[in-house]
């Protein structure tokens, strides 16, 4: 039996074992519309039962030795390695990933598990000074039950980067994947940890629509919500969490800028820009959505970028060697094309692409763009690269910051100039002489402004902060004397 044999999970969700569900949803291949299987959908009532069971199981899991929890995470990393090819196939077919992107994502999952295997034995507190004759400690304790709500675009790693550290630190998890990628963003993780020896009841897989999403936020046992997705939905979850006095870690949208400084190598800059805009069809929160190019290079850069775009093959990544696969669904495909056509109607010009190709959208370059056009202002979530020129670094900084988002910025060219520009930029991440898409398990990840609530993923410090609570603990040698 393979790891993802549908006989195990077909028509089911996972909550203290695989449970039959009265409601099912087809798993669909976006490139062809073919049916790949079915997943069981949870109900709000299922969520409430799962939350109560998770709270019960979490207490025993938190009491498990750090070495035992670390061993489960290491075994999960080994299983991701052993089953990488099978998992990559699902990422290609269900999420529309090009083969290289699927391999990259599977590799991130392996690294995430091995990195998180170090969390159980990581220092989790401080020894404090005290004016009293006592020991004073600030120690980190598991938060309890954590709800993870994950998106479709990098479904595996964007779920796992919350699930793995939360489990490693002694929490139980309710996982709600995007229904469009419930296998690669949900079933894969449930099966891996099931085989890795995670005790029953600690991890629950609860696919579903909006009512299930609300339930995993509102369940009384849930103390922390980790959400990755759109800014409008993130705002709603943040408001809901605030009313319920729960912590919400929100990793939201982006409209990320790539700045090409005067004197930059245009060929290399265009290669970086193409990768930043077109990887996974631009369906990444870190996608390069704005190309800000010095006026001395803008014509040469635009021509080079357009040549790159025209040369990139699109199609079905399960059957062809392509750079760009399908857009996740027809609704999103129409949205991408609508933003392009509206911008062209407002005066932009298409230097490359600008058209659909079956379920795909061709790599697109737009020139003649102004800051008020939708292709410049909005997060497109498609393979579209609008280009705008600048004259001075002061103007470049102003253009970068004139955006509601603040997730990732790339700066290409002279390092000294780039360092000075970086100091003037409002962004959760800045990459000098790299494009905007980058992620490592040990690096803090998060944005500012409408891109979210800061770095809550990656690295021991961020993960411990995200998935534990601080408890002040004092100890005296004898009962203290009091004046009452």
Nearest alpha-carbon partner for 412 in 309, 205, 260? 260
Residue 251: active-site member: yes
Of 29, 113, 115, 285, which is the active-site residue?
285
- If DSSP codes are grouped into helix, strand and coil, which group holds residue 169? coil
Cβ atoms of residues 185 and 155 within 8 Å: yes
DSSP 357-413: ETTEE--EEEES--TTSHHHHS---SSEEEEEEESSHHHHHHHHHSSSEESEEEEES
DSSP 128-143: EP-SSSSEEEEEEEE-
Return the H-helix or E-strand segment holding 145: strand 145-149
Cα 479 from Cα 481, distance rounded (Å): 7
Cβ atoms of residues 210 and 135 within 8 Å: no
Return the H-helix or E-strand segment holding 472: strand 468-475
Q: In the block, which residue shows the tokens 């993130």?
A: 234
Pairing state between β 18-20 and 12-14? antiparallel
Token pair belonging to 314: 């699109």
Token pair belonging to 268: 């290399």
Of 251, 360, 379, 403, which is the active-site residue?
251
- Calculated CA dihedral for residues 162, 328, 11, 47, nearest 10 degrees: 40
Residue 285: active-site member: yes
Q: Which residues have C-beta within 8 Å of that of residue 430, sequence separation ≥ 6?
A: 408, 409, 410, 411, 422
Token pair belonging to 73: 């995470």
Other C-beta atoms closer than 10 Å to the C-beta of 108 total 20
User: What value, to the nearest 5°, has the Cα angle with vertex 236 and ends 230 and 241?
Assistant: 120
SS3 content of the chain, % helix, strand, coil (to 5): 40, 25, 35
Cβ atoms of residues 449 and 426 within 8 Å: yes
Token pair belonging to 69: 């929890």
Give the residue numbers marked as catalytic. Answer: 251, 285
């Amino acid at each position: 039996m393979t790891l993802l044999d549908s006989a195990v999970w077909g028509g089911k969700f996972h909550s203290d074992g695989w449970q039959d569900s009265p409601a099912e949803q087809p798993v669909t291949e976006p490139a062809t519309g073919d049916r790949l299987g079915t997943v069981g959908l949870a109900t709000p009532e299922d969520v409430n039962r799962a939350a109560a069971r998770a709270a019960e199981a979490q207490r025993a899991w938190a009491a498990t030795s750090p070495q035992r929890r670390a061993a489960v995470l290491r075994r999960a990393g080994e299983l991701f390695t052993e089953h990488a090819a099978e998992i990559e196939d699902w990422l290609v077919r269900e999420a529309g990933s090009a083969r290289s992107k699927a391999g990259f994502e599977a590799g991130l999952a392996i690294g995430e598990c091995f990195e998180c295997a170090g969390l159980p034995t990581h220092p989790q507190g401080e020894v404090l000074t005290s004016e009293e004759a006592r020991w004073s400690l600030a120690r980190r304790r598991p938060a309890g039950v954590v709800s993870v709500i994950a998106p479709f675009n990098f479904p595996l790693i964007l779920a796992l980067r919350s699930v793995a550290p939360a489990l490693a630190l002694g929490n139980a998890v309710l996982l709600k994947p995007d229904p469009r990628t419930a296998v690669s963003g949900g079933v894969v993780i449930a099966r891996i940890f099931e085989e890795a020896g995670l005790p029953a009841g600690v991890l629950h897989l609860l696919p579903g629509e909006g009512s299930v999403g609300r339930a995993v936020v509102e369940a009384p046992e849930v103390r922390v919500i980790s959400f990755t997705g759109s800014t409008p939905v993130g705002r709603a979850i943040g408001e809901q969490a605030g009313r319920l006095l729960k912590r919400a870690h929100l990793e939201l949208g982006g409209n990320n800028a790539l700045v090409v400084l005067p004197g930059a190598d245009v060929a290399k800059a265009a290669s970086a820009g193409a990768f930043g805009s077109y990887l996974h069809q631009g369906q990444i929160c870190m996608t390069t959505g704005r190309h800000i190019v010095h006026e001395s290079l803008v014509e040469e850069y635009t021509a080079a970028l357009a040549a790159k775009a025209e040369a990139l093959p699109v199609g079905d990544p399960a059957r062809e060697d392509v750079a760009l696969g399908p857009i996740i669904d027809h609704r999103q495909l129409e949205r991408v094309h609508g933003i392009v056509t509206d911008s062209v109607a407002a005066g932009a010009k298409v230097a490359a692409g600008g058209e659909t190709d079956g379920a795909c959208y061709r790599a697109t370059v737009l020139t003649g763009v102004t800051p008020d056009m939708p292709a410049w202002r909005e997060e497109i979530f498609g393979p579209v690269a609008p280009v705008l020129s600048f004259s001075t670094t002061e103007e470049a900084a102003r253009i970068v910051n004139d955006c509601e988002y603040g997730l990732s910025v790339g700066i290409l060219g002279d390092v000294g100039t780039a360092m000075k520009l970086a100091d003037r930029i409002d962004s959760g991440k800045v990459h000098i002489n790299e494009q905007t898409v980058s992620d490592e398990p040990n690096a803090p990840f998060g944005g500012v402004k409408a891109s979210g609530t800061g770095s809550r993923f990656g690295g021991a410090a961020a993960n411990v902060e995200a998935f534990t609570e601080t408890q002040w603990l004092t100890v005296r040698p004898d009962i203290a004397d009091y004046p009452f």
